[in-house]
Amino acid sequence: MRKNGFARSALIETLHTVQSSFGFLDDDAIKFVAESLRVPLSQAYGVVTFYHYFSLKPPGKHTMTICAGTACYIKGTDKLIADAEKHLGIQVGQTTKNGQTSLMTARCVGACSRAPVVLFDGEVAGEVNREQMLAQLERWTVE
């Protein structure tokens, strides 16, 4: 916040910083940011819920993000998503009960030439098939 001179317009930047430190934004964090920047709490909460990138829930120990961009869709990520949901027993956007794995989708990470793309803890893997994906999920579960 100090870096941006406590400017009200730096709300999104500040929220990014908080999320990258804590992994998600809880009520206390949003209240603190809103008060510090003198932004109405409603505006801060509105911004957090409007943008997909911000998360109100803590992520699991590992996160698998499946790209749902057009090129990846043409190359079959809808099936990968269905397989992952079945394997983990959760829906996209949820975390397994033991807190081990979160399943997310992304609107294109820009690695379309390597579609379908999956991010394992932020690491880009291209031309991923079902077996590779499930093997990685299995490794995380065993840990």
Partner 1 sequence: MTIEELEQIAKSVHQENEKYDFEVNVCMDLACNSQGAGLLHSALVKAAEASGKKVLVRKTGCMGPCSSGPLVRVDPEKTLYHHVKDANAETIVNSLGEAPVAALQCDLNEHFDKQVRVVLENAGHIDPEKIDDYIARDGYKALLTVLTEMTPNGVIHRITESGLRGRGGGGYPTGLKWSTVAKAGGDTKYVVCNGDEGDPGAFMDRSVMEGDPHRVIEGMAIAAYAVGASKGFIYVRAEYPVAVARLTTALREARRRGLLGTNLCGTTFNFDVEIRLGAGAFVCGEETALIASIEGRRGTPKPRPPYPAVSGLWGRPTLINNVETYANIAPIVRNGGKWFFNMGSERSKGTKVFALTGRINHTGLIEVPLGIKLWEIIDVIGGGVPAGHTFKAVQTGGPSGGCLPAEMLPIGVSYDALMAAGSIMGSGGMIVMDDTSCMVNVARFFVEFCMTESCGKCIPCRAGTAQMYTLLTRICTGVGTMDDLRLLEDLCSTVKEASLCGLGQTAPNPVLSTLKYFRNEYIDHIVHKKCTAGVCNMQVPAEVLA
What secondary structure, in 3-state letters, does 4-42 show?
Answer: CCCCHHHHHHHHHHHHHHHCCCCHHHHHHHHHHHCCCHH
Q: Pick between residue 123 and residue 143 the one whose CB is nearest to partner 1.
A: 123
Min dist CB 100 to partner 1, Å, is 24
- The contact pattern for partner 1, residues 16-35, with x = CB under 8 A and - = no contact, is x-------------------
Q: Pick between residue 84 and residue 128 the one whose CB is nearest to partner 1.
A: 128
Question: What values do phi and psi take at 6, rounded to 5?
Answer: 50, 30
Tokens of 51: 């943008």
Q: Compute the distance between CA of residue 56 and CA of residue 98 in angstroms, rounded to an integer.
A: 18
Q: Compute the distance between CA of residue 103 and CA of residue 114 in angstroms, rounded to an integer.
A: 20
Q: Give me Rg for the CA atoms of the chain.
A: 17
Which position among 6, 22, 24, 51 is part of the footprint of partner 1 (CB under 8 A)?
Answer: 51
Q: Pick between residue 20 and residue 98 the one whose CB is nearest to partner 1.
A: 20
74 forms part of the interface with partner 1 (CB under 8 A): yes
Query: How many residues make contact with partner 1 (CB under 8 A)?
Result: 40
Residues lying near partner 1 in the complex (CB under 8 A) are found at: 7-13, 15-16, 39, 43, 46-47, 50-54, 68-71, 73-75, 106-115, 117, 123-126
